[in-house]
Structure 1
Amino acid sequence: MKKALLIAGFFLLTGSYSFAQTFEYKTITVVESIVPNGLGRSRMISSEEERNYKEFTSQRSEENDERNKSDRGDIRLKNFEETKLLNFFNMGGIRFQNIAANDAVVTSRLNDLAEQGWELAFVNSGVESYSGEDDDGGIYITRYIFKRSKN
C-alpha cells in the first residue's frame, strides 16, 4: 500500500500525470479609419453569438469540386458589441489625440477581458492605407485573440 501511495505521490508532484486542458477562444476586432477629413468610421467589434464553421465549410477535391452553397444570411449575425472609436485623421491631418484615446479605450477592454479570465493569445494586424487623391479609403485592423480554460 505504501508503494502505491508513493508512486501516486511521485506522479502528482512531478507533473508526469497530466490532465488534458481545453480552451475557448474569443476574437475582438478593432477597425480604425485612416480616411482623411474624419469621414471614416472606427469601431471595436466582438461577437455576442457563436457560429459553427462546419456549417459553412465544404471539402473540395478534383473529384468533388462543388462549392459551399451556404446562405450568407445564415452566416451573418445580429448580436454583436460595437464600441465607437475615433478616426486617425481629421480636417487637419493625423490626430494623435485620437490615437491615444483609442489606445485608452482598447486597453480598457483588454483589462476587462483579463479580469474575466481571458488571456491574450495572439495579435494580428493589417493595413489598407490611404494613398492620395484617387484613394478615398483606408483602414487599420487589429485582431486580438483571447483564450481561457473551459471549466
Structure 2
Amino acid sequence: MKKLVLLIAIAFLSYSDAFAQVEYKIITSVESIVPNGLGRSRIVSATEERNYKDYTSERSDDKEKDKRNKSDRSEIRVKNFEETKLLNFYNLGGIRFQNIAANDAVLSSKINTMIEEGWELAFVTSAVESEGGKGDGKGIFITRFIFKRNKQ
C-alpha cells in the first residue's frame, strides 16, 4: 500500500511539472570596448513588461489583408528598469584586466541573486560590435542572459 501511495505521489508531481507555466526574463550586459575608457558599461534589466503583439503587424501582398504597423515607437520604451554600473574594458592605458575581473564579480553576483530568487539560467548569447576602422572608435560587447522559472 505504501508503494502504491508513493507511486501515485510521484506520478502526480511529474504530471504537474509537465504542465507548469514557465516565464522568462532577460538580463543584458553591455560592456564598452571604446578606446580610452570613453564608453559606458551597464547591466540592464526591465522591471516593466511589454506585449510584443501590441507592436506587431501582419504584412501581406494582398492589400486587403495588409495591415501597416502604426504603433508609436515611444510606446515601446520602458521607463522603469534596473541599471547596474560596470567598468569599461579600456582606459587611457589600454585594456584593463582588473575591470574585466570586476565586471565578472558583479555579473556573478547578479546571476547568483537571480538563482536565489528561483530563476534558472537557460541560455546565454553574446555578440561584439567592434571598431570598424580608422576613426570609428566605437564598440560594445553585449551578452544576454536568459533565465526561466515556473510561474508563481
TM range (shorter): 0.7 to 0.9
Aligned: 1:77 with 2:78: yes
In 2: Cα distance, 1:110 partner to 1:29 partner: 11
- What TM-score, normalized to structure 2? 0.87
Partner of 1:32: 31
In 1: Cα distance, 2:80 partner to 2:37 partner: 27
In 2: Cα distance, 1:52 partner to 1:99 partner: 35
Give unpaired runs (5+ residues) of structure 2: none
Partner of 1:47: 46
- What TM-score, normalized to structure 1? 0.88
In 2: Cα distance, 1:105 partner to 1:28 partner: 13
CA deviation profile, 1:12-54 (whole Å, cap 9, x unmatched): 5457971311111111000000000000000000001011111
Q: Specify whether residues 100 and 9 from structure 1 end up closer, same or farther in structure 2 by C-alpha distance, changes over 3 A only.
A: closer
Question: SS at the partner of 2:135?
Answer: coil
Aligned residues with identical type, % of pairs: 62
Partner of 2:144: 143
Q: Specify whether residues 9 and 116 from structure 1 end up closer, same or farther in structure 2 by C-alpha distance, changes over 3 A only.
A: closer
In 2: Cα distance, 1:123 partner to 1:67 partner: 33
> Structure 2 counterpart of 1:32, which letter?
E
In 2: Cα distance, 1:78 partner to 1:57 partner: 20
> Structure 1 counterpart of 2:56, which letter?
T
Partner of 2:117: 116
In 1: Cα distance, 2:82 partner to 2:40 partner: 15
Give unpaired runs (5+ residues) of structure 1: none
CA deviation profile, 1:49-91 (whole Å, cap 9, x unmatched): 0111111111112213333111111100110000000000111
Query: What is the total number of aligned residue pairs between the two structures?
Result: 147
1:133, distance to aligned residue in structure 2 (A): 2.8
1:123, distance to aligned residue in structure 2 (A): 0.5
> Structure 1 counterpart of 2:33, which letter?
I
Please identify, of 23-32 and 66-75, the stretch whose mean Cα deviation from structure 2 is larger: 66-75
In 1: Cα distance, 2:35 partner to 2:45 partner: 26
